[in-house]
A = this chain, B = another copy of it.
Amino acid sequence: MRLVRPLHIALACAIVPMLATAAPEPPKTFPSAQEILDASPKSDWHVLDPNNTLYLELASGRVIIELAPDFAPEHVANIRAFAHAGYWNGLSILRSQDNFVVQWGDPDAGEKTAKPLGAAKAHLPAEFTRSMNGVTFTRLPDADGWAPEAGFVGDFPAALNPREHLAWMTHCYGVIGAGRDTAPDSSNGSELYVVTGQAPRQLDRNITIVGRVVQGMELLSVLPRGTGPLGFYEKPEQRVAIKAIRLAADVPEAERTPIELLRTDSATFTAATEARRNRRDGWYVRPAGHIDLCNVPLPARDPTKATAKPR
Interface on A for B, CB 8 Å cutoff? 1-11, 94-95, 98-101, 103, 105, 107-111, 113, 128, 142-146, 172-174, 177, 179-182, 184, 186-187, 190-191, 193, 197-207, 217-218, 221-225, 228-230, 232, 234, 276, 279, 282-288, 290-292, 294-295
Contact = CB atoms under 8 A, between A and B. Distances in A.
Contacts of A205: 285-286
A297 to B, nearest CB: 10
Contact of A101 (B9, B145, B200, B294): B9
B142 A145 contact: yes
Given A8-B230, A207-B9, A1 B111 contact: yes
Given A222-B225, A279-B202, A285 B179 contact: no
A196 to B, nearest CB: 8
Contact of A288 (B5, B197, B201, B283): B201
A193 B9 contact: yes
A35 B203 CA distance: 21
Contacts of A217: 98-99
A3 B276 contact: no
B4 A230 contact: yes
Contacts of A223: 222
Contacts of A180: 7, 9
Contact of A199 (B3, B198, B224): B198
Given A201-B292, A202-B291, A283 B4 contact: no
Contacts of A95: 5
A98 B218 contact: yes
Nearest to A180: B7
A159 B3 CA distance: 34
A217 B198 CA distance: 13
A77 B207 CA distance: 47
A7 B222 contact: no
Contacts of A203: 9
A288 B179 contact: no
A290 B207 contact: no
Contacts of A182: 10, 282-283
Contact of A7 (B105, B113, B234): B105
A290 B200 CA distance: 11
Given A1-B107, A5-B232, 5 more contacts: A8-B230, A9-B177, A128-B285, A201-B290, A205-B285
Contact of A218 (B5, B113, B225): B225
30 contacts: A1-B107, A1-B108, A4-B228, A4-B229, A4-B230, A5-B95, A5-B110, A6-B110, A7-B180, A7-B187, A7-B190, A8-B103, A9-B177, A9-B207, A98-B217, A98-B221, A143-B143, A145-B145, A146-B292, A172-B198, A184-B285, A198-B292, A201-B290, A202-B279, A202-B288, A205-B285, A205-B286, A222-B222, A222-B224, A222-B225
